[in-house]
């Protein structure tokens, strides 16, 4: 998902990642609509979810009960954004998402920027997850899963992470402070990347259905440009090119010498004949 200002001509944009079941899966986001306040909604064609992006870049994902693939592509959102209507092409249904229901957990503001340099290739972030009071019983907070997304073949490669603990119970502890550890390896490339801290909880009526919130984190990799050593084949090509130039120069010199010698011999023969004719 790419988010950009409407008048930017996509010169500056932010890539936000959806959650995936495994690194090889695709969610295929489709139609994008917004309500009167600027909150963005889109359907995940293959991910089988309705997603919401608020103004801070936090994504909330709601799984569609009919599954595993309803082929939801089109959405309709009113100005107040309270109900998001959608069609299930393969499910043969019309449904709506009630966005007024509060998600009963939240993450307190954390350091949203991580920087790796030549001398610093690891980072630890401690963040706070809270259980919200006076909320609906839509979700079960006994098991809340934590992970990162955005490190795929098409995203960031060259980092590993751990979250401790990666499963928490917000019914038992209203406030939990997990630690996220990120490490870079030699395969990482310089650039500015976006990764997402993923927090998921199951619905109380059906534990197979989850609601997920994704919090964006910016990862800056500032490494010096390294000179890539030439391979053997490239060295051979350079050496062959060098030898070829030398051979051409030497051959040209020999040809020039032969030509000059032939010209001198010709002039001498011509002068000798002219002298004989005068006699």
- Cβ within 8 Å of residue 181, ≥6 positions away: 122, 123, 124, 161, 162, 163, 164
Note the pLDDT of residue 153. Answer: 46
pLDDT digits (tens, 9 = 90+) for 179-221: 999 998 877 888 888 888 999 999 888 888 899 999 998 888 8
CB 54 within 8 A of CB 37: no
**DSSP label at residue 64:** -
pTM of structure: 0.72
End-to-end, the C-alpha distance of the chain in Å comes to: 101
Q: Give, in degrees to the nearest 5, the angle at Cα 201 between 130 and 102.
A: 60
Q: In Å, how far from its chain's centre is CA 259?
A: 66
pLDDT digits (tens, 9 = 90+) for 233-250: 555 545 555 555 656 666
| CA–CA gap between residue 2 and residue 15 (Å, rounded) | 5
| CA–CA gap between residue 81 and residue 34 (Å, rounded) | 8
**Helical ranges in the chain per DSSP H:** 232-278
């Amino acid at each position: 998902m790419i988010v950009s200002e409407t008048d930017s001509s996509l010169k500056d944009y932010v890539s936000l990642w959806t959650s995936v079941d495994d690194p090889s899966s695709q969610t295929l986001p489709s139609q994008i609509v917004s309500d009167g306040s600027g909150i963005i909604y889109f359907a995940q064609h293959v991910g089988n979810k309705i997603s919401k992006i608020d103004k801070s870049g936090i994504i909330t994902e709601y799984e569609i009960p009919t599954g595993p693939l309803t082929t939801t592509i089109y959405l309709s959102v009113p100005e107040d954004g309270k109900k998001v209507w959608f069609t299930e092409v393969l499910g043969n249904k019309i449904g709506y998402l009630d966005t007024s229901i509060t998600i009963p957990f939240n993450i307190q503001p954390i350091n949203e920027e991580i920087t790796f340099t030549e001398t610093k290739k690891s980072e630890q972030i401690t963040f706070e997850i809270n259980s919200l009071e006076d909320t609906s019983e839509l979700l079960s907070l006994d098991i809340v899963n934590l992970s990162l997304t955005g490190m795929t073949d098409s995203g960031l490669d060259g980092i590993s992470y751990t979250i401790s603990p990666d499963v928490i119970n917000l019914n038992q502890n209203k406030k939990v402070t997990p630690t996220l550890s990120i490490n870079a390896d030699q395969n990482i490339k310089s650039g500015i990347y976006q990764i997402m801290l993923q927090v998921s909880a199951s619905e109380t009526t059906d534990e197979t259905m989850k609601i997920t919130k994704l919090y964006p984190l910016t990862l800056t990799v500032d490494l010096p440009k390294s000179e890539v050593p030439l391979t053997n084949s490239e060295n051979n090509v350079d050496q062959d090119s060098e030898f070829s130039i030398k051979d051409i120069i030497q051959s040209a010199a020999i040809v020039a010498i032969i030509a000059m010698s032939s010209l001198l011999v010709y002039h001498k023969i011509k002068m000798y004949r002219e002298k004989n004719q005068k006699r």
